[in-house]
Structure 1
Amino acid sequence: MSNPTHSFKPTLSLVDATMIVAGSMIGSGIFIVSAEVARSMGSSGWMMAMWVLAGVVTLIAALSYGELSGMFPKAGGQYVYLREAYNPFIAFLFGWTQFGVIQTGTIAAVAMAFAKYLGYLAPGLGETNVLFAMPLGSWNFSVNMAQIIAILSIVLLTWINTKGVKNGKIIQTVFTFTKLFSLFGLIIFGLLIGAKAEVWNANWENAWTTANLKMVDGQLVTTALSGMAFLGAIAVSMKGTLFSSDAWNNVTFIAGEIKSPEKNIGRALFLGTFIVTIIYVAANLMYLAVLPFNEIAFAENERVGVAAAERIFGPGVGAMAIAVMIIISTFGCNNGLILSGARIYYTMAKDGLFFRKAGTLNNYDVPGTGLWIQCLWASLLCLSGKYGDLLTMVIFGVLLFYVITIIGIFVLRRTRPDIPRSYKAFGYPVLPALYVLVALSLAVLLLIYEPEYAVPGLGIILLGIPLYFVAKKEIK
């Protein structure tokens, strides 16, 4: 049990909470994902539609979560909502998937993006500097300098966050404001300096044709899309755009440390997701004003942001500017993910469903043990090199848990109508139902068109079933 003298201290303001939402959402996706979307959809109009749709869907979900956060302003957020709407078993499946893959895998992936771009500025710190290699059967296990840098960044941020939520708050606010201003600056400079009328007009000539684009032996191959192939292209595109907009729910995990959480979490969810949606849409409009469509689709290593910045500032300066922006963006993003994640494990431990020591608070009133357990697993994922595969696998699961959570609003309206609701889901029941329909449709399309990722992702969630009973037995 926690020392009774220690408890979560509500020290985070609305601005702090909003910075956690926005900062956790913006990583490196906005600089990369547009290439895949452009290849999948084949035209500027449909590329923009995928980003707008992702933003609208995310906003609907965030506004819906506002009702749940007002009802249960407690540490653990979404885990608590699922437990209260359904039962501890459903909540555990969510918590297990968060710890096993989603939260820790995202932390590992973001840390590796941080390290890779740091390696761009200082090549000796990059992936090409292999420190150790050893064949293990069909798998060649190796450790490079980028992995070490990634792990060190996770350890550093974890250590800072074990010293109290105020330290994490300062990093989050400073780094998030910095990357927001940097992104706005890139967009404005792009539209004022890099934009070319002929490029913009050419990109919008056939804005609503749909095609799959591939480069074969240096030649562009275009395959028209229709029917189910079109739906499959939407699934692939939305996978990227939605995941670039993900982690907005992290602010719900730290409800116990937010001032007036019953009001401020809902407000922060809306403000944070709205700001990021505006930035993402504006950034893609800037790409279309600066780069010919095929250069977006086939940007080197999918680095659309780098290609755009080189057009705006010149080859050397542009690439350097994006590298610095991504370093800032990913470092701030990981701070929010690390700060938030341990609060889920704290609440799970309190329910007897996680390592018992993770349910204690340290002398700084934060779940220090949970933070270090999360740090250890995320670091191991960095070393495995499989974090990217794991993340791709669980996108299906992420959607599924969002759907189940929002259906929980309908369940709680019926089963627990007397609980005070400081905020009610905007557009209820139409907008929450619309989200459920869209997200479920996308999940089904992922099962059909990307079963190699969606089916194992479902398997990771189902692995939580025996683990739940093991956890219950261990507690007894």
Structure 2
Amino acid sequence: MIMEQQHLKKEIGLFAALATVMGTVIGGGVFFKVATVVQATQSASLTLLVWLLGGLLTLAAGLTVTELAAAIPKTGGAVKYIEYTYGKLPAFLLGWAQMIVYFPANIAALSIIFGTQWVALLHWSNSAIVPVAIVAGASITGLNFLGAKVGARVQSLGLIFKLIPIALIMVVGLFAPAHVTFAWTALISPQQTSFWSAFSAGLVATMFAYDGWLGVGAIAGEMKNPKRDLPLAIGGGLLAITIIYVLINLVFVRTLPIADLAGNLNAAADASMKIFCDLGGKLVTVGILISVYGAINGYTMTGMRVPFAMAEEDALPFSHLFKRLSPHTSVPYFAGSVQFLIALIMMLLGSFDLLTDMLVFVMWGFSVALFVAVFILRRREPDMDRPYRVPGYPIVPAIAMIGGVFILVVTAITQPLLAVIGIVLTAIGVPVYLWNERRK
């Protein structure tokens, strides 16, 4: 059998795609990022504001890029949109950045979070964190090797079970008597000297919690009806996530004082202990485990299909290996194996947060290019088949573009070394691309 002539099976429906959006985005960030956001804002009302604006910005970005996803429903997602608009080199650099660092770094970081919470729940030694993380990442990769349908089912089940503890915290916490009162109009606290510095740092901090939606377009080629379902999955999923994030953070600021939230990675567990007593901490830990496991699955499922799509066009060194599919499940097993190997190295080295933050910066650079691509294609190809058009054009794409530029500028000013390293790692893809072109 010539495996290179196989095709990915169209097995993913609307609910599985919606679960992929929500399951990939809702990971550890909903529990851990409250500490970073409150550390920056030092204000309950400003904290809620940046979570709301972060969600609306992400929603504008998702609605904008969905126009490209519906018009160009190809496996590979954003890589294909960039290639269609700008050419092969920019598309290769996006795929390179996703393949080498972005997806593996997220898988590694989330696996370590899983290991950390597992050890805390069972009171194991901290030396078990990395082995548990490796088992978590390896098990998810193995499940995805069983087929796209299995990976999608894991995502759907993970979404259902992860939303249960989140829903309990929101519903019980919102109706329970408030332990802390705050003024909705008090956006700035005495601890903050500048509203804009607090606002910008808080808004940028939320972006990791909202990250993950861009890669969902990578499964378009395996969706039963991508032109109809992909816009619904991305738009509906991101709107629901925004509501969830704002409400759960409202519970946190009603339950614990700002001083107890700022910089406290156990803030979610501490808040739940007040709401549910002793059972609360364990409940949240189990919820985090399920949530993070589902997020790892989302990054694994979408990530392995990026190098596969690039290899189909012989855009990678050793493309003949990356585009190999399992003869029984039609899964790009070699691409998935390489992805896990890179993630494994990152787990052992330990620079997860730095790599993730760096690639969030790089990904938003490409995201801005995607927002601009909507304007370019509207002018260049007015008769292009667009089953979905971004609502509120050109205002919504402009909001996404301005917000993306804001994130890039703030990151470059506050973390210049991180931004430079991210750009350099991405730029390494240029000689790789040129070498591969000469080889061909």
TM-score after normalising by structure 1 = 0.88
Equivalent pair of 1:147/1:383 in contact (CA under 8 Å): yes
Q: Residue 304 of structure 1: CA displacement?
A: 1.6
Structure 1 residues 425-447: Cα deviation after superposition (integer angstroms, max 9, x where no partner): 12111110121112102211211
Among 424, 431, 438, the residue aligned to 1:459: 424
Q: Which amino acid letter does the alignment assign opposite residue 333 of structure 1?
A: A
1:420 aligned counterpart, secondary structure: coil
Compared CA separation, residues 467 and 184, structure 1 to 2 (3 A): same
Residue identity matched to 1:381: M
Distance 1:240 1:341 in 2: 23
Q: Select the residue among 148, 151, 154 that pairs with 1:165.
A: 148
Q: Write the deviation string for residues 139-170 of structure 1: whole angstroms up to 9, x where unpaired.
A: xxxxxx21121112111111111111111111
Distance 1:57-1:370 versus aligned 2 partners, 3 A rule: same
Q: 1:454/1:263 Cα in 2 relative to 1: closer, same or farther (>3 Å)?
A: same
Does 2:193 match 1:224? yes
Alignment of 1:256-275 (within 5 A): 256-275=221-240
- When residues 298 and 112 of structure 1 are mapped into structure 2, their CA distance, relative to the original with a 3 A threshold, is closer
Identify the structure with the greater strand proportion: 1
Q: How many residues align?
A: 437
Please state whether the residue corresponding to 1:199 is helix, strand or coil: coil
Q: Is the CA contact (8 Å cut-off) linking 1:74 and 1:256 kept in structure 2? A: yes
Q: Which runs of 5+ in 2 are unaligned?
A: none
The residue aligned with 1:6 is 6
Partner of 2:187: 208
Q: Is the 8 A contact 2:64 2:400 kept in 1?
A: no
Output the CA distance in 1 between the equivalents of 2:64 and 2:350. 36
Query: For the structure 1 residues 422 and 304, does the alpha-carbon distance in structure 2 shift closer, same or farther, using more than 3 Å as the test?
Result: same
1:347 aligns with 2:330: no
1:11-44 CA distance string (max 9 Å, x none): 1111110000000001111112112211212211
Q: CA deviation at 1:123?
A: 3.0
CA-to-aligned-CA distance 1:79-106 (integer Å, 9 cap, x gap): 0000001111001111111112111100
Paired residues of 2:309 and 2:323 also in contact (CA < 8 A):
yes
CA displacement at 1:232 relative to structure 2: 3.5
Q: Residue 132 of structure 2 corresponds to which residue in structure 1? A: 149
- Alpha-carbon distance in 2 for matches of 1:119, 1:264: 39
> What is the Cα deviation at residue 2 of structure 1?
6.2
Distance 1:453 1:235 in 2: 17
CA distance in 2, matches of 1:29, 1:454: 21
Alignment of 1:16 onto 2:16: yes
- Paired letter, 1:36: T
SS of corresponding position for 1:224:
coil
8 Å Cα contact 1:232-1:445 kept in structure 2: no
Tell me if structure 1 keeps the 8 A contact 2:83–2:91: yes
Gaps of 5+ in 1: 130-144, 212-221
**Cα separation, 2, equivalents of 1:93 and 1:4:** 24
Structure 2 distance, partners of 1:53, 1:2, is 50
RMSD: 1.7
Residue equivalent to 1:418: 383
Q: Distance in 1 between matches of 2:309 and 2:116?
A: 34
306, 312, 317: which one aligns with 2:269: 306
Q: Is the CA contact 1:71–1:262 (under 8 Å) kept in the aligned structure 2?
A: yes
Distance 2:388 2:307 in 1: 27
Equivalent residue letter for 1:21: V
Cα separation, partners in 2 of 1:93 and 1:210, compared to 1, 3 Å: farther
Of residues 211, 215, 221 in structure 2, which corresponds to 1:246?
A: 211
Trace 1:272-291 onto structure 2 (pairs within 5 A).
272-291=237-256
| TM-score of the aligned structures, taking structure 2 as reference length | 0.95
1:331 aligned partner: 293
Contact 2:346 2:352 in 1 (8 A): yes
Q: Residues 398-417 of structure 1: matches in 2 within 5 Å?
A: 398-417=363-382
Letter in 2 for 1:361: L
Asked if structure 2 preserves the Cα contact closer than 8 Å seen for 1:309 and 1:318, the reply is: yes
Sequence identity percentage = 30
- Deviation of 1:62 (Å): 0.9
Aligned counterparts of 2:435 and 2:351: Cα–Cα separation in 1: 26
Question: Distance in 1 between the 2:192 and 2:232 partners?
Answer: 44
- For 2:189 and 2:417, how far apart are their aligned partners in 1? 25
Q: Secondary structure at the match of 1:75?
A: coil
Question: Following the alignment from structure 2 to structure 1, what is the Cα–Cα distance between the partners of residues 294 and 39?
Answer: 30
Alignment partners' CA distance in 1, 2:362 and 2:414: 15
Displacement after TM superposition at 1:112 (Å): 0.6
1:187 maps to which residue? 170
